[in-house]
Structure 1
């Protein structure tokens, strides 16, 4: 199980690095897009700021930023504990890791589910604003934001959903790996016990 745990540590560190980049993206939606739209609006009307789907999209990205940051802190303590001398066994570490990841997904799926259900409406609102481009002030701000992030409208809407899919696949693969490792340990211990009885 130790080998499986060390492999999981390496994989989780890579996932946490990806998540750091993802959190920066979520933060940019608020700081570089929504906040600038609000500041530039003043007394002007705008297709994006008046659109419910876009407003919910911005709200969801803010919630996700908080949740991902919260669970990052928990996962980093599991992978690199401050007090390693009192750390639990490798089996225990694996169990705690899987439980934390499953708890994280159970919370995140609610917000991501809302994003998925509004995906088409959000995409339509952004696409309309983008196509107006420099003819509308909010379309111009959207265009500049997308250029700075190297994204298209479709990619902006899809990125959160794609990240959630990545997390689901990672947790599933991790659970299968740990389950097989436990089965192998049980089988190995059974063989050792059988060999001991023969003496």
Structure 2
């Protein structure tokens, strides 16, 4: 039986952005399949009583500095998003809609994370014109992405993913599951790799 691990994420999480290339590296080194599980982080946090780190002032100040350290260590550009906490529902639903084409879905995930956290003028995902421009600039059909973002099927799957995440013990993003074993945070992927190996 082939190995796999699940990546529960939402584009609103900057640490999920940092996790993507690290998780891809784990998949390459272990031969495990990386399964993308988009979820609505706001719903997860509300259901579990979790709070954003920035609500604790000292922790928020630390996180801002630490995010840059982590990005530098991974080798990613990082820019705080002035729209944070952004409304990412449209992007997450569109990501779900692209599931039938795994390569295109991964390309979209990579583009969206970079747009939200890896460029000097970060994307506000609630700005439909800006999302359409991002799509066009990266070879996606903006009308198709907009349709996927508002489709009932994607809405239903996002709700199901979010409810499943909570039921499986997830309280934040990024979260990784190897079977039923939960690992939270981009800095726990070495443990994921050890378990897969």
TM (norm. structure 2) is: 0.24
Which structure carries more helix by proportion? 1
Which structure carries more strand by proportion? 2
Larger RCO of the pair (alpha carbons < 8 Å, separation 6+): 2
Larger Rg: 1
TM (norm. structure 1) is: 0.24
